[in-house]
A = this chain, B = another copy of it.
């Protein structure tokens, strides 16, 4: 730990949403300070950060000042422009690195990387034109999902195609963006692995969680994952470890997987702490946020073994009306993000329901 960041060192966090907020708290728990960069003056992470910069992603001078004020830079979401990394990286270490970010930002790059690493995915094809789409449908079959290659999240930028006649409308719905067609997977369950890799190449994974999405947004994560046998749990962790190694990754990654009768398929990777890892806050001695800070600060990875079973449920939009009831529920640990404005589909907080380990 000779090069580890020590008390008072500053973690620069690009993005000040709820993930940045929980990263800032984790940094403080290790005696480190957080400096958040976000264009939004009401970014939730500001309330718990030692310092904050409010400026646009295209403000190179502000980014340079931010970099000069911190010891290491990380990010809380994968849709920051790569130009931001290119501005900051010559000045300070950025972890995870540019390659992980670039891979996760583009579904074509992501699927290509995964397949090249020997990992199975849904069948897919790049779609740059109407002719591409016809070929892709012929090869993959229907139903399939047409997705923008870039900047998708929480189910946005996706159109399902059930019949060839819907192809034109689907392309139009994406506004001509560079796209990918993905075969619909007949999965038994969706699971995710939250794993971490340190700069010296050690890997630690939390127990996989089983996820339920509604309307494209994560609704619930259950740990341990009922759909996973012990052998499949090991498979899931090994897949995450292979991805971390192939990307020479430092930090926490979220790997979403489909469980099918034939085995596990990788759905997507998120080069950051992940909503499906929030259960670790009440299930482990060291949670995903601290694990990420440890990795990028050069600390040893912490003990992420599960001491309790947890069901994490997101509080989305009007779910906030349930807070008084949840606050009085035995075993319920609330985590609210301090967002003033309640909007439909907006992640406002989450609740971890904790039970003794079964």
In this assembly, does A1 line the interface, its C-beta being within 8 Å of a C-beta of chain B? yes
In this assembly, does A349 line the interface, its C-beta being within 8 Å of a C-beta of chain B? yes
Pairwise interchain contact B356-A31, C-beta atoms closer than 8 A: no
In this assembly, does A308 line the interface, its C-beta being within 8 Å of a C-beta of chain B? yes
Annotate A338-350 by CB proximity to B: 1 below 8 A, 0 otherwise.
1110000000010
A1-58 residues at the B interface, CB under 8 angstroms = 1, 4, 7-8, 21, 24-25, 28-34, 46-50
Pairwise interchain contact A339-B7, C-beta atoms closer than 8 A: yes
A21–B30 Cα distance when bound, in Å, is: 13
| Smallest Cβ-Cβ distance to A305: which chain B residue | B330
* Shortest distance between the CB of A50 and any CB in chain B (Å): 4
Pairwise interchain contact A28-B47, C-beta atoms closer than 8 A: yes
Pairwise interchain contact A356-B357, C-beta atoms closer than 8 A: yes
Pairwise interchain contact A294-B29, C-beta atoms closer than 8 A: no
* Shortest distance between the CB of A290 and any CB in chain B (Å): 8
Report the contact-size class of chain A (Cβ under 8 Å from the partner): 35 or more
Given contacts A28-B21, A33-B47, contact A299 B285 (CB under 8 A): no
Pairwise interchain contact A354-B285, C-beta atoms closer than 8 A: yes
In this assembly, does A286 line the interface, its C-beta being within 8 Å of a C-beta of chain B? yes
A30–B327 Cα distance when bound, in Å, is: 10
A33–B21 Cα distance when bound, in Å, is: 13
Pairwise interchain contact A285-B337, C-beta atoms closer than 8 A: no
Residue from the list B30, B327, B335 in contact with A336, Cβ < 8 A: B30
Given contacts A1-B324, A8-B340, contact A303 B285 (CB under 8 A): no
Pairwise interchain contact A327-B307, C-beta atoms closer than 8 A: no
Given contacts A32-B338, A50-B46, A339-B7, contact A303 B331 (CB under 8 A): yes
A7–B337 Cα distance when bound, in Å, is: 8
Chain A residues proximal to chain B, CB less than 8 Å: 1, 4, 7-8, 21, 24-25, 28-34, 46-50, 282, 285-286, 294, 299-300, 302-303, 305, 307-308, 320, 324, 327-340, 349, 352, 354, 356-357
Excluding A25-B25, A282-B285, 8 further A-B contacts by CB distance (< 8 Å) are A1-B324, A32-B338, A33-B338, A46-B50, A47-B50, A48-B48, A302-B333, A303-B329
